[in-house]
Structure 1
Amino acid sequence: MTPEEQRLHDVAAQIALAEMLRLLLAEVLFDPNAETFRKRLQAFENSAVSSILGRDLGSGMNEYTERLLKELATGWITRLMTSIRHPADSTGNNLA
C-alpha cells in the first residue's frame, strides 16, 4: 500500500467512525421532546469538552502542543455534536 493509499484508508476509517458515533449518540441520547434531546446533547458535549480540558494529554508534551491538541479535540467534539439533529428539526441531518 502506498503512503497515499494508507492516508486515504485512514481518512475513510475516521469518517466511518465519526458517522457511527453520531448515530450511536443520536440513539442513546434521543428523546421524543426535541428540547430535551437538545439539552441531552449539550450536556454530553459539555462533559466531553470538560473532560479533555481537565486532563493531561501526555508527558513530555510542551504547553503549546497540548493546548493546540485540546483546542482541536474540543472543536471536533462540538462539530460532531452540533451535526446531530432531532427529527423535528427542519434543517441538517436527521439522525435520531
Structure 2
Amino acid sequence: MWVYIRTSKKPKDLVVKIVKEVAPSNSEELINDKDEEQLAHIIHGFLIVLDDVWDSQVVDFVEKAFSNNKSQPRGGRIMLTTRQQRVAEAVSAHPHNLENMSKGDSF
C-alpha cells in the first residue's frame, strides 16, 4: 500500500488515512470510536510505503504503531521515502541515498 504523506499529520490522522486505503468500503465502520493503537492493529501485516515524509514525528509514530509484537511476530513492514536527511537518519543510521536524476532520466 502506498500512502503519500508530504506534510506532517497527527498520528491518528495518518492511521485513519491508511485504514481508508486498506478497507475503503467499510473504513468508517472500522474507524469509529477507535484509538491509534486499535487502528494500527487493523493495518498490522501490510507492507506500507510512506512517501515523501517531511517530519520525523511521523517516524516516531510509525515505530510506536508498528512495534514488534511477540504475539504477532509477522507484523507489517514500513518503507519510507523522504528528501530530508534528518528524517532518513531518524529511521536508519545508514539510509539508502539516491542520486539526483537528470530531467530526461526522471521523465
TM-score scaled by structure 1? 0.29
Name which one, 1 or 2, has greater alpha-carbon Rg: 1
TM-score, length-scaled by structure 2:
0.27
Write 1 or 2 for the structure with the bigger share of helix.
Answer: 1
**Higher strand fraction: Structure 1 or Structure 2?**
2
